[in-house]
Amino acid sequence: MKIALLGYGKMGKIIEKIATDRKHEIVLKIDFDNLHELTAENLKQADVAIEFTTPSSVISNINVCFDAGVPVVVGTTGWYDQLDEIKQQCEDGNHTLLYATNFSVGVNIFFHVNKILAKLMNNYPYYEVQVEEIHHTQKLDSPSGTAITIAEGIIENLDAKKNWANVLVADGKDSDDNVGNSALLIESYRMDSVPGTHTVIYDSEVDSIEFKHTAHNRNGFALGAVLAAEWLNDNTGFHSINDMFNFDI
Ligand SMILES: NC(=O)c1ccc[n+]([C@@H]2O[C@H](COP(=O)([O-])OP(=O)(O)OC[C@H]3O[C@@H](n4cnc5c(N)ncnc54)[C@H](O)[C@@H]3O)[C@@H](O)[C@H]2O)c1
């Protein structure tokens, strides 16, 4: 496939390597220093675009892909308050988009088991649940998109939780966990060089159950994004990564 890379930062560079190893061709690379090259005309050379930029540029980049009629895989996080609007636009214009808060295969297995665990824990209301996420200090959004997906998976399945609240825990200071009983607390920590660690903790007076995913590097996210680009070759319309994995247990 001919791939356009929108964003050539940490993720864009790894995606380039994995895509070329899988015999794809990178026909366009857009970053901050050549933004003028991001035109619908230039994008039309590509079969698919892969977008890993910033929360402030992702929406206009999606729109250029729509204008060019090029399917787009969106990895950028921090724009989901506009998700419904983009979905509508995508469907109205017969465009193709796949987004994921996290493209790693392991994390998507984690998302699925997280839901099953939350459903099970309805029977044990004396456990209080909380989510923790740790990322590198350059991360712009908080909580992480992955933590939001984990929280939504719990809220959909655990009757006691109705919404989530986030606390960014600075410099090891204790979080303010005064978020109300029906809110699920997400604690965000920022530490040097951590690609992404997410833990769901069910805590009671007698014990704790911790369910944890640790990314060792960014390769898993990049591979998932390339697999999604390949999947869009045979699938059109608006999709989340759940449609690609389609777990049935
Ligand atoms: N969904 C996932 O699995 C996943 C995994 C890792 C990172 N992310 C997200 O992907 C995004 C990028 O992550 P990163 O680690 O590569 O960040 P990064 O800061 O290393 O790279 C972002 C790049 O985008 C460039 N950029 C800025 N504005 C642009 C524009 N208008 N058009 C094109 N490029 C532009 C910047 O110059 C930079 O090089 C972040 O939102 C991050 O949270 C998602």
User: 82-116, pLDDT tens digit by residue?
Assistant: 999 999 999 999 999 999 999 999 999 999 999 99
Entry pTM: 0.88
Q: Which of 13, 29, 112, 139 is catalytic?
A: 139
What's the pLDDT score for residue 171?
55
Model confidence over 213-249: pLDDT tens digits?
999 999 999 999 999 999 999 999 999 999 999 887 7
Using the mean position of ligand 1's atoms as its centre, give its distance from the Cα of residue 140 in Å: 10
Model confidence over 189-203: pLDDT tens digits?
999 999 999 999 999
What's the pLDDT score for residue 248?
76
Average confidence (pLDDT) over 3-9:
98
Using the mean position of ligand 1's atoms as its centre, give its distance from the Cα of residue 188 in Å: 19
User: Percentage of the chain surpassing pLDDT 70?
Assistant: 96
What's the pLDDT score for residue 112?
96
Shortest-distance Cα residue to atom 43 of ligand 1 = 77
What's the pLDDT score for residue 246?
85
Strand bridging mode 183-190 / 97-99: unpaired
What's the pLDDT score for residue 176?
57
Shortest-distance Cα residue to atom 37 of ligand 1 = 32
Is 139 one of the annotated active-site residues of the chain? yes
* Confidence grade of residue 170 (pLDDT, cut at 50, 70, 90): confident
Average confidence (pLDDT) over 168-178:
65
Shortest-distance Cα residue to atom 18 of ligand 1 = 9
User: Percentage of the chain surpassing pLDDT 90?
Assistant: 93
Domains of the chain: 2-103+219-245 (3.40.50.720), 105-214 (3.30.360.10)
* Confidence grade of residue 166 (pLDDT, cut at 50, 70, 90): very high
Average confidence (pLDDT) over 133-138:
95
Count of CB atoms within 10 A of residue 108's CB? 20
What's the pLDDT score for residue 249?
74
- What's the rounded Cα separation, in Å, for the pair 135 and 158? 26
Mean pLDDT of the chain: 95
Contact by Cβ (8 Å): 43, 66: no
Q: Which residues contact ligand 1 via a Cβ below 6 A?
A: 6-12, 30-32, 35, 52-54, 57, 61, 75-78, 100-103, 221
Shortest-distance Cα residue to atom 44 of ligand 1 = 75
* Confidence grade of residue 173 (pLDDT, cut at 50, 70, 90): low
What's the pLDDT score for residue 180?
73
Sheet strand arrangement including 163-168: 163-168, 183-190, 128-135, 197-203, 208-214
Model confidence over 26-80: pLDDT tens digits?
999 999 999 999 999 999 999 999 999 999 999 999 999 999 999 999 999 999 9
What's the pLDDT score for residue 194?
95
Q: Which of 135, 161, 213, 239 is catalytic?
A: 135
* Ligand 1, atom nearest to 30 Cα: 33
Closest CA to 168 of 144, 151, 198: 144
Is 135 one of the annotated active-site residues of the chain? yes
